[in-house]
Amino acid sequence: EIVMTQSPATLSVSPGERATLSCRASQNVNGNLAWYQQKPGQAPRLLIYGASIRATGIPARFTGSGSGTDFTLTISSLQSEDFAVYFCQQYNNWPGTFGQGTNVEIK
């Protein structure tokens, strides 16, 4: 099973600032990586798939990059609605596995 490691566990950012979240796979997952956003009491929401393809309706301030084992989600200018937990998921191998999440909180 591929282990996904996210860092940092918590990221404190002021509104309007840039947030950079990292996700590392224990082995090569090519570009088969997705990012999700989860707010308290809600199901996750798909942000990015294919490492860099924004899902329908996702604002351009969300950018995914990377391939192989190292991936990044960048939120260019944090809005109030962006404070949440973010998960990465590889789907290159079965079972698909998720990282433990990065909590983006208001600084």
Partner 1 sequence: VQLQESGPRLVRPSQTLSLTCNVSGVAISSGGYYWNWIRQHPGKGLEYIGYISHSGSPYYNPALESRVDISLDTSKTQISLKLRSVSAADTALYYCARSDPYGDNAGWVDTWGQGTLVTVSS
- Footprint on this chain of partner 1 (rule: CB under 8 A): 1, 32, 34, 36, 42-46, 49-50, 55, 87, 89, 91-101
In angstroms, give the least distance from the CB of 28 to partner 1.
15
Token output for 106 = 């208001």
Instruction: Judge whether 82 and 76 are in contact, CB under 8 Å.
Output: no
Judge contact between 105 and 11, C-beta under 8 A. yes
Q: Which of 13/46 has CB closer to partner 1?
A: 46
* Distance of closest approach, residue 13 Cβ to partner 1, in angstroms: 21
Nearest in space to 84 (alpha carbons), one of 44, 37, 43: 37
Name the residue type at position 38. Answer: Q
Nearest residue (CB) to partner 1, 16 versus 43: 43
Q: How far is the CB of 69 from partner 1 (least distance, A)?
A: 18
